[in-house]
């Protein structure tokens, strides 16, 4: 009986598989929010963060940014009202990739994953240093990124997207 347990015990651990599920941490905390143009306006809806060969792209619903302090936190659902996309490229990417009239041929998008759930939360306050400027703090909540194989590729630690400043005319 002891010999049987001796042989079965290792076989149990060898036979168990985690299904090769890979959970990555997507970390854009150190990256600045970027957008096309020199200044963001309330009409700007595409924002992105770049980390060498990866990008996190946020497309806000129209009218979400306003040049007025919000009474609370504004919410936009993902993917229904706003979209969040994670891309992995074949090489380093820069702002010109997103802002050019025609996207360059390289780097190539190796993988693109749309968020399947979550919320974008925006709180707007008047700037303390410029009374014509408004600061929009963008937070992400409950974001779920799942690849084509059904594997979750994030640990859902994406929370702070960044702050955008707009100026009223």
In terms of pLDDT, which residue wins out, 13 or 2? Answer: 2
**Residues 24-78: pLDDT tens digits?**
678 888 899 999 999 999 999 999 999 999 999 999 999 999 999 999 999 999 9
Q: Percentage of the chain with pLDDT > 70?
A: 83
Banded pLDDT at 18 (limits 50, 70, 90): very low
Q: Percentage of the chain with pLDDT > 90?
A: 64
Could you tell me the pTM of the whole model?
0.82
In this prediction, residue 120 carries a pLDDT of 95
Banded pLDDT at 8 (limits 50, 70, 90): very low
Task: Give the closest residue to 126 by CA, choosing from 114, 135, 117, 116.
Answer: 135
* Domain spans in the chain, listed from the N-terminal domain onward: 25-167
d(CA 111, CA 109): 6
Mean pLDDT across 118-125: 95
Q: Whole-number mean pLDDT of the chain?
A: 85
pLDDT at 17 over 60: no
With a CB cutoff of 8 Å and minimum separation 6, the contacts of 148 are: none
pLDDT at 165 over 80: yes
**Tokens in use for 119?**
């919320």
Q: Is the Cβ–Cβ distance between 110 and 48 less than 8 Å? A: no
Using left for φ > 0, alpha for ψ between -120 and 50, and beta otherwise, residue 157 falls in alpha
In this prediction, residue 159 carries a pLDDT of 85
d(CA 64, CA 159): 18
Q: Is the Cβ–Cβ distance between 148 and 127 less than 8 Å? A: no
In terms of pLDDT, which residue wins out, 155 or 128? Answer: 128
With a CB cutoff of 8 Å and minimum separation 6, the contacts of 110 are: 88, 89, 90
pLDDT at 3 over 80: no
Task: Give the closest residue to 82 by CA, choosing from 161, 163, 165.
Answer: 161
Banded pLDDT at 19 (limits 50, 70, 90): very low
């Amino acid at each position: 009986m002891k010999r049987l347990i001796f042989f079965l015990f290792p076989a149990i651990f060898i036979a168990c598989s985690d299904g090769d599920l890979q959970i990555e941490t997507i970390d854009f905390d150190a990256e600045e929010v970027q957008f096309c143009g020199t200044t963001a306006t309330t009409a700007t809806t595409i924002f992105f963060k770049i980390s060498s060969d990866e990008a996190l792209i946020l497309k806000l619903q129209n009218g979400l940014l306003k040049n007025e302090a919000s009474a609370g936190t504004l919410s936009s659902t993902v993917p229904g009202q706003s979209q969040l996309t994670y891309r992995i490229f074949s090489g380093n990417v820069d702002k010109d990739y997103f802002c050019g009239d025609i996207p360059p041929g390289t780097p190539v998008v190796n993988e693109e994953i749309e968020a399947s759930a979550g919320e974008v939360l925006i709180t707007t306050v008047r700037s303390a240093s410029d009374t014509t400027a408004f600061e929009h703090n963008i937070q992400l909540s409950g974001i779920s990124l799942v690849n084509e194989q059904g594997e979750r590729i994030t640990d859902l630690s994406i929370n702070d997207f960044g702050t955008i400043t707009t100026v009223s005319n």
